[in-house]
Homo-oligomer: A and B are copies of this chain.
Amino acid sequence: MTAADDDRLARIALSAVGEPGDPRLADLVTAHGALAVHDRLLGDHGIDDLQTDPAARRSATDPQRTLADAARLGLRFLVPGDPEWPVQLDDLAAAAPLQRRGGVPLGLWVRGPARLDELVSSVAVVGSRSATTYGADVAADVAATVAETGRAVVSGAAFGIDQAGHRGALAGGGTTIAVLACGADRAYPAAHLQLIEHIAAHGAVVSEALPGWAPTRLRFLARNRLIAGLTTGTVVVEAAVRSGALNTANWASRLNRHLLGVPGPVTSGPSQGVHQLIRSGAATLVTSGAEVLEAVGAVGEHLAAEPRGRDRARDRLSTRQQQVLDAVPAVRPAPEASIARTAGLGLADVRGMLAVLAELGLVEQEQGGWRLAALAHE
């Protein structure tokens, strides 16, 4: 048995006695390693402040058997350091807990062919369980557009928006990942058994909870941080004011992921939480999959409809500043005297205005004079 195997088994044992997302347990393991924490936890000292009493579950713990049973169910157990480990989850180590959940997961149980180390530019589509047909249609449409580019769509397999997101991704011919609050061998909600089995066959079903475990409120909260943490951006489509989707959104913010919101009628309850996110500046408004890709993709890789905002600095110029700007060449720099002649203004004035325009990022000084800044060309 190798050291890596020991670490893996210690993580399973700790998972079994702890709760997914117990921030103290996660912090201790990040700081001291799973083996040290395991030895201390199962020794006479114990560990203060854990959210569970380890003694309550210790007797039922047999990591090797858990691993073997899981393998028979088609589940693998990923731990940090594994080639397939999604390293973006390590960002969770530095983020403060939210509703008493947090930290890097001790490990992930995975069922399905998709590799989790290939999710770096995946997108989460989350939202209300009691979605409207409007919300479900938009979620499916956004997910399909994202999936068509080869990016995985991650969600929680719940009713409403989650389901629409998974189905949209499958319709788009892409990969989709369901992160569950129960064991990855189970299906919750039960009505989504077929959907979850389909995802396990073509994408991946992922959970931090041990196989066989039931979903609980705390495990949903712990699960939400994984959806945000696995992905580059989270799109919220319909979320009531106190919904789980907003918990995921909050995690996306604190992990510095892109947080995007699809608006809806202001008269629609399920859109209220999204409007609040956009209004507070936490989320960027998006209206289509193209705009989602623009937000999460590399600059210039995906460009949605031209942002009007780019022209705003220009729009606010005084007429004379505009006159000077109009006199600055796009490519080959011109000296100040030549710009002043073209603009029909005095040299001293023109110098002052060029400084203002440079401040606004509209012009730049180069050898030989001034030219338009790259952004101002178009």
- CB pair A308 B97 closer than 8 Å: no
> Which B residues touch A305, using CB under 8 A?
276
In the complex where A96-B319, A309-B280, A318-B96 touch, is A262 in contact with B266 (Cβ < 8 A)?
Answer: yes
Asked if A282 lies at the interface with its beta carbon under 8 angstroms from chain B, I say yes
Q: List 22 A-B contacts (CB under 8 A).
A: A23-B319, A94-B318, A96-B316, A96-B317, A96-B322, A97-B319, A253-B312, A264-B264, A265-B265, A266-B287, A272-B287, A276-B305, A277-B308, A278-B285, A279-B284, A279-B286, A279-B291, A279-B307, A280-B308, A281-B309, A282-B309, A282-B312
- CB pair A287 B279 closer than 8 Å: yes
Find residues 1-19 in chain A having any chain B CB closer than 8 Å to their own CB. none
**Which residues in A have some Cβ–Cβ distance to B below 8 Å?**
23, 27, 94-98, 134, 137-138, 250, 253-254, 262-267, 271-272, 275-282, 284-288, 291, 305, 307-309, 312, 315-319, 321-322
- CB pair B138 A315 closer than 8 Å: no
Shortest CB–CB separation between residue A277 and chain B, in angstroms? 8
> Which B residues touch A27, using CB under 8 A?
319
Interface centre among A95, A262, A266, A280 (most CB of B within 10 A): A266
> Which B residues touch A95, using CB under 8 A?
316
Partner of A96, one of B271, B275, B315: B315
> Which B residues touch A281, using CB under 8 A?
309
What separation, in Å, do the CA atoms of A262 and B285 have in the docked complex?
12
Partner of A267, one of B134, B253, B291, B308: B134
Given contacts A254-B316, A266-B287, A280-B309, 9 further A-B contacts (CB under 8 A): A27-B319, A96-B322, A134-B265, A134-B267, A264-B266, A272-B287, A276-B305, A280-B312, A282-B308
> Which B residues touch A319, using CB under 8 A?
23, 27, 96-97
> Which B residues touch A308, using CB under 8 A?
276-277, 280, 282
Closest 3 CB pairs of A and B: A280-B309, A263-B263, A266-B287
> Which B residues touch A321, using CB under 8 A?
96
Shortest CB–CB separation between residue A246 and chain B, in angstroms? 8
Shortest CB–CB separation between residue A151 and chain B, in angstroms? 20
What separation, in Å, do the CA atoms of A250 and B275 have in the docked complex?
22
Partner of A263, one of B253, B285, B318: B285
Looking across the interface, which residue of chain B has its beta carbon closest to that of A287?
Answer: B266
What separation, in Å, do the CA atoms of A267 and B134 have in the docked complex?
8
Shortest CB–CB separation between residue A71 and chain B, in angstroms? 36
What separation, in Å, do the CA atoms of A265 and B288 have in the docked complex?
11
Looking across the interface, which residue of chain B has its beta carbon closest to that of A137?
Answer: B267
In the complex where A134-B265, A265-B134, A267-B138 touch, is A287 in contact with B275 (Cβ < 8 A)?
Answer: yes
Shortest CB–CB separation between residue A261 and chain B, in angstroms? 9
> Which B residues touch A97, using CB under 8 A?
319
Shortest CB–CB separation between residue A351 and chain B, in angstroms? 20
